[in-house]
Structure formats: C-alpha cells, structure tokens
Amino acid sequence: MPSKPGQDVDSFTDLYQHVVGPGSIVAAVITGHLAVEFLLRKLVTQYDAKLESIASDLNHARLVGLSREIGVITEAQAAVLTRINQLRNKLTHQLSYIPSVQELKAIYSSAAGAFDDLTDGISQGSEALDSASSTQELEEWVLPDLFVQIAYDLHHEYIDRGGDHELF
C-alpha cells in the first residue's frame, strides 16, 4: 500500500491492498457511502413514493440535499454526509489519496453531534484517531463503525416513519 499521501500505486498488489485489502480506507468509505445512499433513497421514497425515480437519478450530494430539504435528515446530519462524500470523492478521483488523521477527526467530531452513538463507534473511533499519528495506524474497525452508527440512525428514522425492519 502506498505509504505516503500522494505516492503512486506502482503495482497491482499496491492497487489491490489500497482499494480492497485488509484495513482499506477506500473500501470502508465506499462501502459505507453506498449503505448511506441506499438508506437515504429509502427515506426519500418513504416520504413520497413519487420521488423514487428522482432519488434514484441523483448523485450523492444532491440526494443528501433533497433528504435535508424534505426533513428526513437534519442539517447537522447533512453536513456530516457531505463531508463523507467529499472524502469519498478524493479517494475515488485520486487513487493514491490517503486522508489525514485531522481530516477524519473533523468528520468524527461532526458525526458525534449529529448522530446517536448507540454502540460507541463514534466515540471509540475518535479515541483511536486521538492516539494515531497516521491513518495507516488505525485498526480495521474504525471507519466501518462510523458508518454503522450513521446507518443505525437512518434505519431508526425509517422505522419511526413506519418503515419495515427489512427495508425491502
């Protein structure tokens, strides 16, 4: 895996490890991003079934904006999801991009004020970031747990609005 921000991916092994290898930040962010997007589309469609085709065609940033406008997520939640989307864009458009600890701390700090921390994933992730000097030092659970907390809240919102536990 590239060891420094901006370092090129020089081999297939580097590419694989960086994108889908154990502890991959790219894999955690993209997978979490997809789960968030799925849940936002469910919430928008639940709000008004006529919006399903529109929600399906929106990019992530616009889907977050629509979700905020119709009130299925709060302004604070939208801000966190926007930051996550910006991180995802960096990771997908700059293959060798490695976020800084400070960048992730800012996301976690915003998330702590916007989402419930039912299983302490946000607070524990924040603690892990406080003791890390680089993102490569983070344990594999840190980023996925952030998305688990976000997904819990979005799913809870879906259920509170009368949705089925199964989502499908």
Whether residue 105 is contained in a domain is answered as yes
1 is a domain residue: no
Predicted confidence pLDDT, tens digits, the chain (168 residues)? 343 334 466 788 877 776 777 778 989 999 999 999 999 999 999 999 999 999 999 999 999 999 999 999 999 999 999 999 999 999 999 877 889 999 999 999 999 999 998 889 999 999 999 999 998 889 999 999 999 999 999 999 999 999 988 876
The reply to whether 24 falls in a domain is yes
The tally of domains found in the chain comes to 1
Residue at 3 is within a domain? no
pLDDT at 8: 60
* Nearest-angstrom CA–CA distance, 95 and 26: 9
41: containing domain = 12-160
Query: Is residue 56 included in any domain, yes or no?
Result: yes
**Considering only CA atoms, which of 84, 83, 73 is closest in space to residue 39?**
73
pTM assigned to the model:
0.88
Burial 8-32 (b: 16+ CB within 10 A, else e): ebeeeebbebbbeeebbbbbbbbeb
| Cα–Cα distance for residue pair 132/152, rounded to 1 Å | 26
**Is 60 inside a domain boundary?**
yes
Which tokens hold the place of 54?
Answer: 């529109």
